[in-house]
Amino acid sequence: MARGTWELHLLLLLGLGLRSQGALPPPCESQIYCYGELLHQVQMAKLYPDDKQFVDMSLSTAPDQVLQRFSELAEAHNHSIPRQQLQEFVQQHFRAVGQELQPWTPGDWKESPQLLQKIADARLRVWAGQLNQIWKKLGKQIKPEVLSQPERFSLIYSKNPFIVPGGRFVEFYYWDSYWVMEGLLLSEMAETVKGMLQNFLDLVKTYGHIPNGGRVYYLQRSQPPLLTLMMDRYVAHTNDITFLRENIETLALELNFWTVNRTISVYLGGKSYNLNRYHVPYGGPRPESYSKDADLADTLPEEDRDVLWAELKAGAESGWDFSSRWLVGGPNPNSLSSIRTSKLIPVDLNAFLCQAEELMSNFYSRLGNDAQAERYRSLRTQRMAALNALLWDEQKGAWFDYDMENGKNLEFYPSNLTPLWAGCFSDPSFVDKALKYLEDSKILTYQHGIPASLRNTGQQWDFPNAWAPLQDLVIRGLAKSSSPRTQEVAFQLAQNWIQTNFDVYSQKSAMYEKYDISNGGQPGGGGEYEVQEGFGWTNGMALMLLDRYGDRLTSGTQLTLQVPHCLVVALPLQLLLSFLPW
């Protein structure tokens, strides 16, 4: 839709008292899935417990016809359609969620991948086999009708099948897919990974970046940029240099999106540093959380609402939707209305990009392009200098998000150690300083996992929730140390996480997106929706730890871990008894 068209449409919305877009463009061009009176009325009627349900429905007829009939209905009711009539309209013109997808069993799935032989503990070996089975449940393929009639769907067409996170998330997600791919490669499913990679590369060619997820309402925001790392892991497993050569320029295009659209300059000590942030300058509520965003905006003056909605989208782009990381420094750091994501320069985003620059340099060297290899090496050197100057804190021994209005945010987040995980640090002693930082922050006293933060705001990326990717950032970061003590702490943190996952799986026969470390490691809570099971990146992370430490990890009886601030990890007696051969 041309800019003038949607601006004209906004005049209509303003006349209806729906000043939802302000001066910013909508999240996508669809007047059904991204903005407009139909979306507003249906979502504000709260016909479904989860706003995502409506925008994931497909149309039973052409969108122009649906909009015309809705316009007639709205006129007949003076633009205040009764709930019952809205419900009937949706039932008549929309189809149930998921009909555009079909289950898919990966053709390269194997019953007994070699990974299982690495696992010494018999119970963990059986469990790993069950995790391997879950890939078949999470496989999806998009039906051809989405390609032939894309206007009837919010789903973005991808030609290759893929693995989804699970639960309400029945489409692909960008950063989730990295940990999914790591697990798939350990399950010897390289062809599935190649197909998922190709889907992402196709999206970059079409849109210039990878959307947050596989729906049109996600188009204007991305997620943590891990595509280059995905390619690196695939090539390391397969040595498929031809695939790398064919797609190296597309990898460069994706990184360029972050350079052009998400770079910000900071002046400090007489020098200028370029780093990156999450920033989504698009207006209106998030379509998949429309009523929540609209209700939250009602607590603010009208002129502040578009800024709020843009910051919420930036928080979603970060993958941490939502967290005190984006609230601290605002007028009320416990309220989501204080969100200010774009005002922060995040440690993890810049570490991911630093790692990508190193990988691109290596890729180009391998392909014989020395000029491009040197270019990316230089970009990495500049970013390392900026990380050290702006984000590193020598006294605390960690990196911290840089608040452009208030300086460093010195709160604890596992993301503070991402440069270790990404290999973007210059001094080997930084790893052992990070261990002291964890001790000083009392993080090693938590026996069920590393919390997302130490603030309990009710948001899902805060205390008491622990998430699989955040465990990875810390565990693999510490494992880079040459110190046996630091390496041992990495192992013990891995033992904690595996026992939490194993315990819950033994009780519920499911893996979850997050776990509550204050509640015995049970499935987590908070945020905008119920905890989801599945779960792609949790499966992948568990398999990664079982691969790395499988000869040592245990599911056994009570285990005391010898680390600073002694950790005690125990599985419940009823679980242990359940394994006995009665």
State the catalytic residues: 321, 513
H or E segment and range at residue 101: strand 101-103
Nearest to 415 by CA among 471, 465, 373: 471
Q: What is the CA radius of gyration of the chain?
A: 24
Cα distance between residue 112 and residue 102, in whole Å = 25
Distance from C-alpha of 221 to C-alpha of 174, rounded to nearest angstrom: 11
Beta strands in 332-405 (DSSP E): 344-345, 392-393, 398-399, 402-403
**Among candidate residues 228, 567, 537, the one with its CA nearest the CA of residue 364:** 228
Which phi and psi (to 5°) does residue 452 adopt? -70, -25
Q: Say how far apart CA 547 and CA 233 lie, in whole Å.
A: 15
Q: Which residue has the tokens 């699989």?
A: 468
Residue with tokens 């002693």: 429
User: How many helices and strands (H and E) does the chain possess?
Assistant: 21, 17
Of 288, 270, 282, 268, which is closest to residue 214 (Cα–Cα)?
288
Which residues are paired to 215 by β-bridges? 155
For residue 454, what are the CA distances in angstroms to 50, 400, 446? 28, 15, 11
State the alpha helices, DSSP H only, in 17-168: 37-44, 52-55, 63-76, 83-93, 122-137, 145-148
**Polymer length in residues for the chain:** 582
Cα separation, 411 vs 325, in Å, equals: 8
Residue 401 CB coordination number (10 Å): 26
Q: What is the DSSP letter of 319?
A: S
The tokens of 529 are what? 């929706």
3-state SS, 252-315, equals HHHHHHHHHHCEEEEEECCEEEEEECCCCCCCCCCHHHHHHHHHHHCCCCHHHHHHHHHHHHHH
The DSSP H or E segment spanning 567 is: strand 567-569
3-state secondary structure 466-519: EEHHHHHHHHHHHCCCCCHHHHHHHHHHHHHHHHHHHHHHHHHCCCECEEECCC
Q: Where are the beta strands (DSSP E) in 384-478?
A: 392-393, 398-399, 402-403, 407-408, 465-467
Q: How far apart are CA 233 and CA 236, in angstroms?
A: 5
CA distances from 517 to 74, 130, 457, 460, 522 (A): 48, 24, 15, 12, 7
DSSP assignment of 204-220, as one string?
A: HHHHSS--SBSBGGGTT
